[in-house]
Structure 1
Amino acid sequence: MLQLQFLSSPPLSAQTLNPNSNTKLLSSFSWLKSTQTLAVKLNPLSLTPKPSKFSLTSRQSEYFDQQQRFSNSSSTASPPASGLPPRFYVGHSVYKGKAALTVEPRAPEFVPLDSGAFKISREGFVLLQFAPAAGVRQYDWSRKQVFSLSVTEIGTLISLGARESCEFFHDPFKGKSEEGKVRKVLKVEPLPDGSGHFFNLGVQNKLLNLDENIYIPITRAEFTVLNSAFSFILPYLLGWHAFANSIKPEEASHVNNANPRYGGDYEWSR
């Protein structure tokens, strides 16, 4: 708070009143009366503040008080009810005249251990979704067919040459009573002019009496984008990012010394 206080001149003693100074004193009093000099006295640390003739509360301090209250309320705001970090869904799509292809990554799964650590239970994968065209720039996603690329299959695509081809076979019910009733084959073959690859997905589903084949041409540039995305996401699909984020220098040194099996130089020290 700003305190504004009039300060008067100190009392005049008899010694200061002499004939030679009367004229100067009168002129000084006249000047003080005409200008009404106001002195500003700031004493925020005083334990016994002196009373003032009037006080003025600055509106700027109210603004700072509001900002402080807003900052405190924001910092103490409770987290979302779920308590989970936000999730992000990403993907990349290629649209052509006969079909559309959407590529989306799926995160790995972890299970907790008794020690409090986590162990990967299922590696991540990349989900390919093929939708046939239903018109000009229109696609029937109700008829889409999906194919999940494992990390090994992703590695095959990344290392595929311009004139090379590959083929993947999936049976979603492998090892179950319905094995062999659904057959999925993904073929990636070079275009005749070498400008890219054909992605051809064939699905035979005896349970639904379905036999469908969807293909889409992928140019060299589009294939390069896919391979770049595959290369980037591959370590995350393996769950290695979780391990890298959990590494602490002091803990890593302690673990390596306690268990030589984890030591980087264990092989060379034998």
Structure 2
Amino acid sequence: MANVRHLDPSASPLDYYGSELRRRREAAGLTQEALGGCIFVTGSLVGQIETAHKVPTRDFSERVDAALGTDGMFTRLVGLVLRSQLPTWFQQYAEMEATASYISTYQAQLVYGLLQTPEYARAVLGVRTEGDLDARVAARMERQRILERDTPPLMWVVMSEAVLHQEIGGREVMRSQLAHLLDLREREWVKVQVLPFEVGEHAGLPGTFNLLRFDDDPDIVYTEDFIQGYMTANQQAVKEGSLRYDHLQAASLSVERSAALIARVMEERYGDQPEPDGRTVA
């Protein structure tokens, strides 16, 4: 119980969540095991979350709210907890991303984070990762909730054809990821274009960048290296980024032809492959 006594609710959103969970559980007269039984998890997991040793999921939070009658408190709080799991230098960008009315991005190597499947995200984040990988994946999935809003941001994605061929997480993960990109065609506010190899030199050669536009705030351009990200509202930088993006869009395949290319790569590169004896393997 020493960890419980020394938990500081003001230390972080995760600590506050844990302390509130313990307080509300005890007020309801439940042990950790009893609460765990109500929400179909172990008492040990409840204890780990109460002592800030484990990051709660949204599903866990919804179940706790139902079991304790806390009127959605933990479901609301978990968003802050998951955002706090993002790298410190990225948190400000995530906050801006969540309020943008228009997001445009050029991706040179990876699928944009807002469009990644959980398995693809796990493979990406698992490279030289620090901390709780489950929590980092959950935080990335939490970012994607902005696409489920009643009025989601308009999003235009240009990605290099290299993104389709760079095998991340194995063939099954890639096939699922490309299928997800194709499914996004059902969302009229998300558009995906592919910049084909045949273009040669292009305006995106310096690397990946994002442009965020807002209804009432200045536009910003965001870039990052392997250490941290950089965000600026400098008018000249935004103008340069916008011009480069216009050139990339013009050089890319149309949305329809991009989808056809994604589908072809998905089948030819990541579809079922015959073994030498003629049998088909996934």
TM category, shorter: under 0.3
Higher-helix-fraction structure: 2
> Higher relative CO (CA 8 A, sep ≥ 6), structure 1 or 2?
2
Q: TM-score scaled by structure 1?
A: 0.19
Q: TM-score scaled by structure 2?
A: 0.18
Higher-strand-fraction structure: 1
**Larger Rg: 1 or 2?**
1
